[in-house]
């Protein structure tokens, strides 16, 4: 994001949960530190990174509609702003105030991204988190994510050895614009 002249020993782009686990295990076997990243917009490298960066590129946007609204299942490696644009193109309102926030969908729950009076947690139905050691996925409800202002469980219990692989969003048909 900041185009700094810094390098990692290895950078892996993982587009499936299996690829995430394989890169994690490979780095561990070589005793290399691992840094999980989305697009790196919230990380400022002050020096080269002597380890493996695993960039999450798991894609996919699924939308299901019912009487009350839309249920989205989105891969963690989707670009957040692309998701906002895509939903609006599909006639699904709700995420407008969060447009243009840099980064990946899978990073959004970590600090509960927010802008202009709206926050990720208002739309979050669940977050799928992968235990990289056990190769096991747990689905956390929005309540279990313990969202606060720029805060969530992903900065604490789920910080090391876990990767967010997908998020579920619920956008309601009783939407009203949130204006300044």
> Is residue 106 involved in binding ligand FAD (CB under 6 A)?
yes
**From 23-31, 99-107, 141-149, 171-179, span contacting ligand FAD (CB under 6 A):** 99-107
Residues 120, 168: Cα–Cα separation, whole Å: 11
SS3 category, 136: strand
Query: Parallel, antiparallel, or unpaired for β 8-14 and 124-131?
Result: unpaired
How far lies 136's CA from each of 10, 27, 30, 130, 180, in Å? 25, 18, 22, 6, 42
- Does 1 engage in binding with ligand FAD (CB under 6 A)? yes
Identified binder of ligand FAD from the candidate list 83, 108, 140, 167, rule CB under 6 A:
108
- Segment near ligand FAD (CB under 6 A); pick from 64-72, 88-96, 111-119, 137-145: 111-119
* Site for ligand FAD, residues 6 to 25, rule: CB under 6 A: none
Residues 116-175 that bind ligand FAD (CB under 6 A): 163-164
Size of the site for ligand FAD (CB under 6 A): 26
Residue 112 CB neighbour total at 10 angstroms = 21
């Amino acid at each position: 994001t900041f185009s700094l002249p810094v390098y990692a020993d290895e950078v892996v782009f993982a587009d499936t949960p299996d690829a995430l686990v394989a890169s994690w295990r490979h780095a561990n076997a070589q005793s290399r530190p691992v840094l999980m990243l989305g697009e790196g917009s919230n990380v400022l490298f002050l020096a080269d990174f002597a380890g493996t960066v695993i960039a999450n590129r798991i894609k996919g946007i699924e939308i299901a509609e019912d009487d009350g609204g839309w249920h989205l299942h989105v891969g963690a490696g989707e670009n957040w702003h692309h998701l906002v644009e895509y939903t609006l193109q599909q006639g699904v309102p709700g995420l407008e105030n969060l447009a243009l926030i840099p980064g990946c969908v899978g990073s959004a729950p970590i600090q509960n991204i927010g802008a202009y009076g709206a926050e990720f947690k208002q739309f979050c139905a669940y977050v799928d988190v992968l235990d990289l050691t056990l190769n096991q996925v747990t689905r956390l409800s929005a309540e279990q994510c313990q969202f606060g202002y720029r805060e969530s469980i992903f900065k604490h219990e789920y910080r090391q050895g876990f990767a967010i692989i997908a998020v579920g969003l619920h956008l309601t048909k009783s939407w009203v614009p949130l204006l300044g």
